[in-house]
Amino acid sequence: MVDVPLSSGLLRFSRTEITFDQWQACVAAGACRGGQDDHGWGRGTRPVINVSWDDAQAYAAWLSRTLGAACRLPTEAEWQQAAAAGSSTAFWWGDSPRHGMANCRDCNPTPIYGTTPVGSFPANPWGLSDMNGNVWEWTADCWQADAAQCGQRVIKGGSWYYYSANATARARARNQANQGSYNIGIRVVCQP
């Protein structure tokens, strides 16, 4: 976990996306659903994929009990501010994708098919890795303003499958809350 100074106050963010190993601890405790397909890329330190928004909520609740701290998914605004790490550019390093900085379709000379182990690319100035690319990350926010109709949730960060325009701090997309994908993972925040 990394302390991140947001405009709303200090939050503790998971340094990387939650890994299969971290997820498995929750499964072993009986608090998370198991059986996530790794798409043949491997487990261990790769980001857990094929988790729904409810799965992400279950992980945050388990982590809260385990750590004795209030953990949850970040809001879209919190996620965006953490990804920017104090910059006003598209990426924390500037406005253009740069080779060797993220895992996305046009981020490297030869595209990487699939996820990479977390932390394979440089961390931003606030110590957060993979905020750009690798896998989209669930946020707490509904796609639509009407929370009663919240079948779709905001995802941030882009993924290995998408181009760099989707991996900027400001880019956003949506996914059905009840569906996981090989492009979507989890990052959590906890109150310090």
Give the pLDDT confidence score for residue 186 in this predicted structure: 98
* Residue that wins the pLDDT comparison between 165 and 148: 165
**Which H helix or E strand runs over 58?**
helix 53-67
Q: What is the mean pLDDT of residues 160-180?
A: 96
Give the pLDDT confidence score for residue 126 in this predicted structure: 97
pLDDT digits (tens, 9 = 90+) for 87-144: 999 999 999 999 999 999 999 999 899 999 999 999 999 999 999 999 999 999 999 8
Q: What is the CA radius of gyration of the chain?
A: 15
Q: What is the mean pLDDT of residues 80-85?
A: 97
147: pLDDT strictly greater than 80:
no
From the CB of residue 1, how many other CB atoms can be counted at a distance below 10 Å? 17
Give the pLDDT confidence score for residue 192 in this predicted structure: 72
pLDDT digits (tens, 9 = 90+) for 28-74: 999 999 999 999 999 999 999 999 999 999 999 999 999 999 999 99
Output the pTM of the full model.
Answer: 0.95
